[in-house]
Amino acid sequence: MASAAEQLAANLNLGVLSKATELKKRIWFTLGALIVFRIGTYIPVPGVDASVMAEMLTQHGGGGILGMFDMFTGGALRRMTVFALNIMPYISASIIVQLMSAAIPSLEALKKEGETGRKKLNQYTRYLTVLIAMLQAYGIAVGLESMHGSVGAAVIDPGWFFRFSCVVTLVGGTMFLMWLGEQITARGVGNGTSLIIFAGIVANLPTALATLLDLGRTGALSPVFILAFLFIAFAVIAFIVFMERAQRRIVVQYPKRQVGTRMFGGDSTHMPLKINTSGVIPPIFASSILLVPATIAGFSQNGPGWVQTIAAQLAHGQPLYMAMYAGLIIFFSYFYTAVMFNPQETAENLKKYGGFIPGIRPGNATADYFDYVLTRLTTIGAIYLAVVCLLPEVLISNYGLPFYFGGTSLLIIVSVTMDTVTQIQSHLLAHQYEGLIRKARVRGRR
């Protein structure tokens, strides 16, 4: 394990990277796409005074569910730009389609049709993304019309024309980001959707750090608290790295078989099962679901009393918010693990190729064993995700930091960074392998 890690680390040098032309193109394409995303977060929605939205978020201390939404968008919500919805409607649509695929037999059959079925499901996801984005954009347009700040109304000329233009602008921005994420996944490095959210979070880090240090300079926060906060952040990062790399290795053996005069098989290998199989998906899914009712409640400044009560309960550290957030994280941990890993199918594949787990009979017994192990690993992983995401929430609510920076953001940053670096290493190894093959062919011709 250590030697493999050292070999991968040794491959990351300028000499190898300079020769990997395809990898360089992918990296430059990814960087260019993320730059386009950042430029879009500064293009304003027509007819909106963005200073009113910024004033509203400042009055709420930058926290709450709207602060988290603004963090995911890279400040696009605060500035009310064309990317104010970010890619969250697409994530919500993906959740709904996956849930329906597990409940509706016809959609479940599409998942088993291979590439054709996946294309159809992706098309359904896009259609649903448009619908969700339209509903959210209309809610934002109506909410903006009712907002007033110290400089006046948020909307210069309210009415149906503004609502139409706002919906078209925000939906168009979301669909463009969805397309951009797909292009990054296909032609760049890493998962496009995750990298867009990652870029939004990272863009806010310098401002958040400067705000924290400025509070220490003015005496609003003590130096001891700032050092403790930074220590906790680094400790959480180290804990995330440890848990994301932790895995349970199941020994798999293959019997010897004779083909002609030669013997094959008889080897022993292992099947790694990660403690957190679902990765960063559960916190993102949970956040996107909580954003829908919370955004409506947050924009309804002059709404009914029960709406204001919901908005208050969905603030940092409140019991309703904490319970819903933890419950959704745990649910999606189990759900996404079940989607990603099918114990019955894995057991059948092992049986088909002659593999078996020592002490476990092939077939249904092996599937039950996989389900037994995976259930317990997922329980640990779900608790780990809930603790990492909720611990900073408690600290923020108790000490009133004027920006949102919690466990979800740390989890996304660390996980996306690790996945992207792993893909880069895989491309470098593939490039080196192709180079060795070419050299061997040249030597053979000589």
**Block mean pLDDT (10 aa), the chain, length 446:** 44 52 87 92 87 72 61 81 89 83 79 78 90 88 80 82 92 93 89 88 81 79 81 85 88 71 67 85 79 59 63 69 88 86 84 81 87 92 89 68 64 85 79 63 62
Q: CA-CA distance, 365 to 391, in Å (whole number)?
A: 39
For 21-439, give the CATH class: mainly alpha
What pLDDT, on a 0 to 100 scale, did the predictor assign at position 11?
A: 46
CB 280 within 8 A of CB 405: no
What pLDDT, on a 0 to 100 scale, did the predictor assign at position 3?
A: 45
CB 444 within 8 A of CB 29: no
Domain boundaries, the chain: 21-439
What pLDDT, on a 0 to 100 scale, did the predictor assign at position 174?
A: 93
What pLDDT, on a 0 to 100 scale, did the predictor assign at position 407?
A: 67
**Three-class DSSP category at 62:** coil
Chain-centroid distance of CA 377 in Å reads 20
Q: CA-CA distance, 143 to 313, in Å (whole number)?
A: 19
What pLDDT, on a 0 to 100 scale, did the predictor assign at position 2?
A: 43
